[in-house]
Amino acid sequence: MASPVAIAAQAGKLLREQALRPRLLAVRSQAGHLTSRRWLNLQEYQSKKLMSEHGVRVQRFFVASTANEALEAAKRLNAKEIVLKAQILAGGRGKGVFNSGLKGGVHLTKDPNVVEQLAKQMIGYNLTTKQTPKEGVKVNKVMVAEALDISRETYLAILMDRSHNGPVVVGSPQGGVDIEEVAASSPELIFKEQIDIFEGIKDSQAQRMAENLGFLGPLKNQAADQIKKLYHLFLKIDATQVEVNPFGETPEGQVVCFDAKINFDDNAEFRQKDIFAMDDKSENEPIENEAARYDLKYIGLDGNIACFVNGAGLAMATCDIIFLNGGKPANFLDLGGGVKESQVYQAFKLLTSDPKVEAILVNIFGGIVNCAIIANGITKACRELELKVPLVVRLEGTNVQEAQKILKNSGLPITSAVDLEDAAKKAVASVAKK
Ligand code: GDP
Ligand code: MN
């Protein structure tokens, strides 16, 4: 069984994974755990909309894309105090810094005009937090919400935990802050309830968690009720994680979800169409979106050898073997299953548009994929794009002989490789020569 610390660490880790996805993939690839998984990302305001639709208590809010809209929203809220929050997928916004000079991605004010002034310094600027890349993430939207006084901040998350083969509720009375720090310095303040997915969350479990979080008197029932509602939401929307930090209480005696981060199981896309339609791709690299248009998966890495592969497993193997031979992958582009010649062309176009790329390694294992189609796509792309970097091709499987013939008879400077090792060696050597 995983310790509470491990679970809390995992909760935090999942969160960071979302924020640092491209970088993490780069690091992971070096450790040999590469995945080509795409994540669905929702902004806080989208997550809170889902929560409020399921009876979870969040503050009244509007979303604004311009400073003027923020001003109008602040007036419409007609609240005693307003909280203005930059919408990016990373956490730690409160302590973040904008490249406009503004400090803090979360601001409280009573004056709608100040909301406007602040929004001006947020929208269109990059916000850097502990969880973003150094250059930060551009803010396109802000959330304008009714601010509430907070008398206590706790932490609550529900996550699918592999080591328990099911959902676990993790909580700490010490919320608002970085939960991993709490897990490291005071692991006794991390509590968990393992849920039997068939039985659902029991009243006793919700009550015990509410108590462990320090909710007293009538607040205890209210917190337990919110926890149950969050659990039902978690199940209904096929989430892998719902994290609320702070899960707070107000001096007026209300339990409120002040922040929200939801991760989803991509395998459930077919039955969660409405949610997946909200996917915010604005923080993807443009090249990722371009690849998605052609049903290709692109992951950018730090090296100089582009990898053109089919399947995540082969991508992982290809990256590993490049590393083993002293090279570094620049990216990988996963062609997936049913391939068309035009996709191969688009793939090459994307790979060569990256200035980091000094060589291309094609590693395709033709099972469903017909190697001859790949070979035709490659020769066409080479001619039309006037390929300037060395190209090493390893094809194997269905119709490979014909594919080899097509490549050989093309008269193009394509280096053939007999196997993966050979391909990696040749690709690394072609870059080293330069
Ligand atoms: P994060 O920094 O990205 O995690 O953003 P949060 O939504 O968690 O906000 C950061 C901090 O701002 C919270 O931990 C709260 O202390 C504070 N905060 C957010 N909303 C409110 C609010 O409505 N009222 C008050 N008093 N504080 C708030
Ligand atoms: Mn937070």
pLDDT in tens, 145-170: 999 999 999 999 999 998 889 999 99
Angle CA 249–70–74, to nearest 5: 55
Residue of 371, 297, 369, 367 lying closest to 338 (CA atoms): 369
Give me the pLDDT at residue 295, please.
Answer: 82
| Nearest ligand to residue 150 Cα | 1
Give me the pLDDT at residue 340, please.
Answer: 78
Q: Phi/psi at 44 (nearest 5 deg)?
A: -55, -45
- Give yes or no for a contact between 339 and 373, defined as CB atoms under 8 angstroms apart: yes
Q: What's the pLDDT band for 73 if we cut at 50, 70, 90? A: very high
Rounded Cα distance, 220 and 172, in Å: 14
Q: What's the pLDDT band for 302 if we cut at 50, 70, 90? A: confident
Mean of the pLDDT values across residues 90-117?
97
Mean of the pLDDT values across residues 87-102?
95
The residues placing their C-beta within 5 Å of ligand 2, an ion, are: 245, 259
Q: What's the pLDDT band for 434 if we cut at 50, 70, 90? A: low
Rounded Cα distance, 52 and 233, in Å: 10
Q: Is the CB of 246 under 6 A from ligand 1?
A: yes
In the predicted structure, residue 5 carries a pLDDT above the cut 60? no
Give me the pLDDT at residue 39, please.
Answer: 67
106 C-alpha to center of ligand 1: Å?
A: 6
pLDDT digits (tens, 9 = 90+) for 339-382: 778 888 888 888 888 888 999 999 998 777 889 988 999 999 99
The residue whose CA has the least distance to atom 26 of ligand 1 is 149
Give me the pLDDT at residue 338, please.
Answer: 66
Dig out the tokens for 319 from the structure: 């990256």
Mean of the pLDDT values across residues 374-400?
91
Per annotation, catalytic residue among 17, 69, 153, 243: 243
Q: Is the CB of 137 under 6 A from ligand 1?
A: no
The contacts of residue 144 (CB under 8 Å, 6+ apart) are 61, 62, 63, 64, 70, 73, 74, 77, 82, 83, 84, 115, 119
The contacts of residue 45 (CB under 8 Å, 6+ apart) are 61, 63, 87, 141, 143
Dig out the tokens for 349 from the structure: 């176009």
The residue whose CA has the least distance to atom 20 of ligand 1 is 258
Q: What's the pLDDT band for 259 if we cut at 50, 70, 90? A: very high
- Lowest-confidence region among 2-11, 22-31, 77-86: 22-31
